[in-house]
Amino acid sequence: MATIEDTIAAIATPPGRGGIAIIRVSGSKALEVAKTLTGITPKPRQVYFKQFKMNNEVLDEGVVIYFAAPNSYTGEDIVEFQGHGGNVSPKRVLNGILSIDGIRQAEPGEFTRRAFLNNKMDLTAAEAVEDLISAGSESAAKAALSSLEGSFSKNVNELTDRITNFRVRIEACLDFPEEHEDFYESGKTDRELDDIEALAAKTIKIANQGVKLNEGAKIVLAGSPNAGKSSLLNALAGADKAIVTNIPGTTRDVLTAQVEIEGVPVTITDTAGIRDKPSDEIEAIGIQKAIDELKKADLVLFMIDGSKSPVDVMETYTKVKEFESNTNRIMVIVSKADKELCSEVSNLLSSEPFCSLKQVRTSTKTETGLDDLKKVLVDALGIMPIEGVFIARRRHIAALEKAYEYIVKAKDIVATGDLVLCAQEIRQAQDYLGEITGTVTSDDILGKIFSTFCIGK
């Protein structure tokens, strides 16, 4: 069975062609591995150029560095072999290392898990390591780095400290009832709880933005054939990604483009035009795929060709609505603004259901309305540029919201004078905050978190 006592090894750099690959070894046998492969016992933090050999066979040559515990990433002895990149050479070195008795392949995220267990970083920082690696935009990377450097934990710890101080006062009051009046009279208690609530609300707001940066958003272009969806995808992506023709039913497959809107990584998905009578089986499959994409969208841009009499627009909309019932997530794009707006389309747009939806008129030919569209998207996706934003995950939001719920409960109860119950509620809030930074965390949760990490990190 794998335990934390094992010495672990993994290639820390991505597979494929590259100049250098790093093979990392962590644990009590790391130095023995260095000795076996290079014939020397490296001094901590010194660089040696050596051949990496197993049983007299040269596997590679490169640099070996030793980081002695506890001054290493994991807090354990670490040896790094920096050899040649590529698909083969690093694996030969790793296999050589794994053939040494007592060394096993690291599990995903195991180096970082050990760093957490050895108190080198708290849980938000450990998660930020992975979020930094998979950041989809510069803003996401900056926010991840901010969490890694402790800005998220600082917020949570400040909240926890204030709650602890409040608990100390409550407990004192419970132990020494003569302080009971003082507890209420000064108005300090109300102020303290108001401050705690405000800080929790602020932290949730920033964390929500952090989740957006982390996860990005998904926008799906949908509508009747020939409405101009693929043209809009190309315009937003700034590249000819999708085929555009005047033949209805051109797009069959799902196509995506990555764009950045106010720093948030956004995936724009182009889909086959939805109609009742597809021209062939391939188009029918494409339409089904379009419908599947609707279910995953944060926002659907429903495109209507503004230049000609609407055909089946209501039917197509009804279909879209069937799979995206939240109309806050549907926006109407009226395309081909360089041409005159057809009066029937105009009538359609001023009547239900379209008059209740946000509408933007665009032309990809003259680029009219594209800047407006981006502004409206920022709004619709709830993207707010926030100072000091840190990266966050849904589990953090869930825990913060629970903590907030208990803070509000404590506030209600304190007014009734039931301080025992109030202390219990505030304690619950504290426990939820502890889940975020990892002071209160089960093995199950840790397993879930670290299993999504890269191997070698």
Ligand X SMILES: Nc1nc2c(ncn2[C@@H]2O[C@H](COP(=O)(O)OP(=O)(O)OP(=O)(O)O)[C@@H](O)[C@H]2O)c(=O)[nH]1
Using CB under 6 A as the criterion, which residues of the chain lie in contact with ligand X when the complex forms?
225-231, 244-246, 248-251, 272-273, 335-336, 338-339, 363-365
Q: Is 342 helix (H, G, I), strand (E, B) or coil?
A: coil
246 binds, among ligand X, Mg ion, none (CB under 5 to 8 A by kind): ligand X
Q: Count the neighbouring beta carbons within 10 Å of the beta carbon of residue 354.
A: 20
Q: CA–CA separation, 381 vs 299, rounded Å?
A: 7
Smallest distance, Å, CB 233 to ligand X?
Answer: 8
- Return the number of the residue (336 or 457) whose C-beta is nearest ligand X: 336
- Give the residue carrying structure tokens 């999504």: 452
Q: Which residues contact 400 (CB under 8 A, 6 or more apart)?
A: 200, 203, 204, 207, 432, 433, 436
369 binds, among ligand X, Mg ion, none (CB under 5 to 8 A by kind): none
End-to-end alpha-carbon separation of the chain, Å? 21
- Return the number of the residue (72 or 251) whose C-beta is nearest Mg ion: 251
Is 203 annotated in a binding site? The answer is no
365 binds, among ligand X, Mg ion, none (CB under 5 to 8 A by kind): ligand X
Is 150 annotated in a binding site? The answer is no
- Return the number of the residue (74 or 250) whose C-beta is nearest ligand X: 250
The dihedral sign for the CA sequence 60, 65, 69, 75: negative
Is 339 annotated in a binding site? The answer is no
Smallest distance, Å, CB 284 to ligand X?
Answer: 13
**Closest alpha carbon to 7 in 111, 93, 118:** 111
Q: Are 43 and 112 in contact (CB under 8 A)?
A: no
Q: Are 289 and 302 in contact (CB under 8 A)?
A: no
Q: Which residues contact 121 (CB under 8 A, 6 or more apart)?
A: 112, 115, 129, 148
- Return the number of the residue (72 or 224) whose C-beta is nearest ligand X: 224
> Of all helices (H) and strands (E), which one includes residue 219?
strand 217-223
Smallest distance, Å, CB 226 to ligand X?
Answer: 4
Smallest distance, Å, CB 11 to ligand X?
Answer: 43
Is 24 annotated in a binding site? The answer is yes
Q: CA–CA separation, 50 vs 203, rounded Å?
A: 50
Task: Produce one character per residue of 327-346: b if its CB has 16 or more CB atoms within 10 Å, e if not.
Answer: eebbbbbbbbbeeeebeebe
- Give the residue carrying structure tokens 């950041």: 135
- Return the number of the residue (12 or 268) whose C-beta is nearest Mg ion: 268
112 binds, among Mg ion, ligand X, none (CB under 5 to 8 A by kind): none
7 binds, among Mg ion, ligand X, none (CB under 5 to 8 A by kind): none
- Return the number of the residue (335 or 430) whose C-beta is nearest Mg ion: 335
Write out the two tokens for 134: 């998979």
Smallest distance, Å, CB 256 to Mg ion?
Answer: 13
Smallest distance, Å, CB 272 to ligand X?
Answer: 6
44 binds, among ligand X, Mg ion, none (CB under 5 to 8 A by kind): none
Q: Are 283 and 203 in contact (CB under 8 A)?
A: no
Q: Which residues contact 52 (CB under 8 A, 6 or more apart)?
A: 37, 38, 58, 59, 60, 61, 62, 64, 81, 83, 93, 96
Is 80 annotated in a binding site? The answer is yes
- Return the number of the residue (124 or 251) whose C-beta is nearest Mg ion: 251
- Return the number of the residue (93 or 299) whose C-beta is nearest ligand X: 299
360 binds, among ligand X, Mg ion, none (CB under 5 to 8 A by kind): none
Is 165 annotated in a binding site? The answer is no
148 binds, among ligand X, Mg ion, none (CB under 5 to 8 A by kind): none
Q: CA–CA separation, 213 vs 271, rounded Å?
A: 25
Is 318 annotated in a binding site? The answer is no
Is 190 annotated in a binding site? The answer is no
Smallest distance, Å, CB 250 to Mg ion?
Answer: 5
The residue whose Cβ lies closest to ligand X is 273
Is 35 annotated in a binding site? The answer is no
Write out the two tokens for 97: 């290392």
SS3 content of the chain, % helix, strand, coil (to 5): 50, 20, 35
- Residues of this chain that interact with Mg ion (CB under 5 A) are 229-230, 250-251
Q: CA–CA separation, 54 vs 60, rounded Å?
A: 10
Is 155 annotated in a binding site? The answer is no
Question: Which residues are known binding-site members for K(+)?
Answer: 226, 245, 247, 250
Question: Which residues are known binding-site members?
Answer: 24, 80, 120, 226-231, 245-251, 270-273, 457
